[in-house]
Amino acid sequence: MQEIHTPGMQNVVLAQKTLADYAPIAGESVIEEIGRLARPLQGARVLHVSSTAYGGGVAEMLHTLVPLMRSVGLEASWRIISGTDDFFLTTKSMHNALQGMDLDLTNAMRAAYLHANVDNAVYFEGDWDYVIVHDPQPAPLRTLRRSDGGKWIWRCHIDLTAANSTYWSFLRPYVEAYDAAIFTMAQYVKQDLQIGRVALVPPAIDPLSPKNAPMQDSRAAEIVRLYGIDPTRPLLTQVSRFDPWKDPLGIIDVYRAVREEFPDAQLALIGSMAHDDPEGMEYYQRTKEYANGDPDIHLLSNLDGVGNIEVNAFQRAATVVLQKSLREGFGLTIAEGLWKGKPVIGGNVGGIPLQIEDGVTGYLVESVDEASQRALELMRYPEEAERMGARGRETVREKFLSTSLLRNYLRLFTDLAITRSVERSEGMVAS
Ligand code: UDP
């Protein structure tokens, strides 16, 4: 069946947020620095462009970053690109290939990708001082709007370390049309990328959002009980899209190994279905089959009413939080778990080691066996687990809150604005 396809971009409706509310949590010094950086940027027109307003880390962050940009005097907006099913299938392959899968890139796929981008570029509206284009889906927009003014930034959220060379060669010229690119880690910056400026900025979580705001343990217990979990028994939680890179099948193996020593352990696999992720449902089914009707394995998603507050509750009610990814650009769920004072067991890949200090705030693991052993240790020694979790929360406070993210964007805008005024005074820019 052909889906109804509306050309052009949609504005995302956003909640209001106030920077001052973050001061008691993030500390005064970052708030002051933000104030200082924002002063010369008052009224700057900023547009974020991404491929979905719901599901996944990018959407999660923009729901806070854009309102905070507004709160400090920028005219910030966020728009979502439109695309056909073929486009989103292609961009999902692109995502997988850029994270290292060996996949073909056919002419039909190239055409689907470019057609959608041309559609979005044709309907692109407004004059902007800064346009931030997130991830590969809308990357060609800069090339297609080459004569537009403003500074254009490509924000890459994925791990390009082992990028498939066919896909990267296809994408690279579009990225090189930007003034700057932001990566999470230095290792993700490809050697052959030629671009004016590269900034390294880790993602961040919002400590005041319903997903991360304080919640009494008793409330968390009440919420998970509604989903059939017994909060008095041990609970392993992983919150992730149903995606092979997140290894939900491996998590089920970890749970089975843990059950040998803790036969009353339960597993909650929470995974939302993002609209730009056509594989989600298929992988959910695979995971369900693998769970094989075990009543203590709970596969839950937004379709069961699991939203932000429920994710908060499941992370808090967990005895152990896992994120056993096989590839991971960053993994917001790790910062989310640490923020709740839980040590997190994460795959030793991508952005996960940036967040977990092995043996200090959680464990970095390479296999199901290692993950199982570490989960058992945390379950056997809950006091030590609590100490590790408390340290993890402080790491997040220092490095991975939305206030740091906002400050890092404002620093980059400032640097790019200086470049612009230098270019102007040297007569390099026509406007
Ligand atoms: N998430 C959610 N519900 C789910 C699954 C994921 O709210 O059922 C959220 C999760 O809490 C996190 C984001 O989606 O904030 C996932 O970001 P992450 O960086 O971990 O992974 P990505 O999906 O971007 O690969």
Taking only the tens place, the pLDDT of each residue in 229-269 is 999 999 999 999 899 999 999 999 999 999 999 999 999 99
Please tell me whether residues 221 and 124 are part of one structural domain: no
Weakest mean pLDDT among 130-144, 200-214, 413-427? 413-427
What does the pLDDT read at residue 56?
A: 82
Question: Whole-number mean pLDDT of the chain?
Answer: 94
What does the pLDDT read at residue 54?
A: 86
Closest CA to 114 of 135, 134, 84: 84
Find the mean pLDDT for residues 192-215: 98
Report d(CA 29, CA 35) in Å as an integer.
10
From the number of C-beta atoms within 10 Å of its C-beta (0-12, 13-18, 19+), residue 143 rates as middle
Give yes or no for residue 337 CB within 6 A of ligand 1. no
What spacing in Å lies between the alpha carbon of 206 and ligand 1's midpoint?
13
Mutate which of 205, 312, 332, 349 to test ligand 1's pocket (most atoms within 8 Å of Cβ)? Answer: 332
What does the pLDDT read at residue 277?
A: 73
What spacing in Å lies between the alpha carbon of 186 and ligand 1's midpoint?
23
What does the pLDDT read at residue 329?
A: 93
Residue 232 lies in a domain: yes
Give yes or no for residue 271 CB within 6 A of ligand 1. yes
What does the pLDDT read at residue 272?
A: 79
CATH number of the domain encompassing residue 230: 3.40.50.2000
Label the pairing between strands 10-11 and 75-80: antiparallel
Could you give the percent of the chain with pLDDT greater than 70? 95
Residue 295 per-residue DSSP state = T
Structural domain boundaries, residue 103: 9-204+401-430
Q: How many domains does one find in the chain? A: 2
pLDDT digits (tens, 9 = 90+) for 308-324: 999 999 999 999 999 99
Cα-flanking dihedrals φ and ψ of residue 300, to 5°? -130, 155
What spacing in Å lies between the alpha carbon of 272 and ligand 1's midpoint?
7
pLDDT digits (tens, 9 = 90+) for 363-374: 999 999 999 999
340 to 40, 230, 333: CA distances (angstroms): 36, 20, 11
Ligand 1 atom nearest to CA at 56: 23
- Which residue type sits at 419? T
Please tell me whether residues 19 and 71 are part of one structural domain: yes
C-alpha distance across the termini of the chain, in Å = 47
Please tell me whether residues 222 and 343 are part of one structural domain: yes
Residue 401, both tokens: 């809150």
Please tell me whether residues 193 and 237 are part of one structural domain: no
Ligand 1 atom nearest to CA at 308: 7
Res. 4: pLDDT tops 80: no
Could you give the percent of the chain with pLDDT greater than 90? 90
**Where residue 335 falls among pLDDT bands split at 50, 70, 90?**
very high
Residue 187 per-residue DSSP state = G
Report d(CA 98, CA 162) in Å as an integer.
7
Residue 164, both tokens: 């498939």
What does the pLDDT read at residue 2?
A: 39
Res. 421: pLDDT tops 80: no
Please tell me whether residues 169 and 65 are part of one structural domain: yes
pLDDT digits (tens, 9 = 90+) for 150-174: 999 999 999 999 999 999 999 999 9
Please tell me whether residues 393 and 405 are part of one structural domain: no
For residues 129 and 298, the answer to whether their CB atoms sit within 8 Å is: no
Residue 2 lies in a domain: no
Res. 297: pLDDT tops 80: yes
Please tell me whether residues 424 and 299 are part of one structural domain: no
Q: Is the dihedral of CA 242, 247, 253, 258 positive or negative?
A: negative
Give yes or no for residue 311 CB within 6 A of ligand 1. yes
Give yes or no for residue 331 CB within 6 A of ligand 1. yes
Cα-flanking dihedrals φ and ψ of residue 85, to 5°? -60, -40
For residues 134 and 155, the answer to whether their CB atoms sit within 8 Å is: yes
Report d(CA 431, CA 69) in Å as an integer.
26
Res. 425: pLDDT tops 70: no
Find the mean pLDDT for residues 40-68: 95
Res. 420: pLDDT tops 70: no
What does the pLDDT read at residue 430?
A: 33
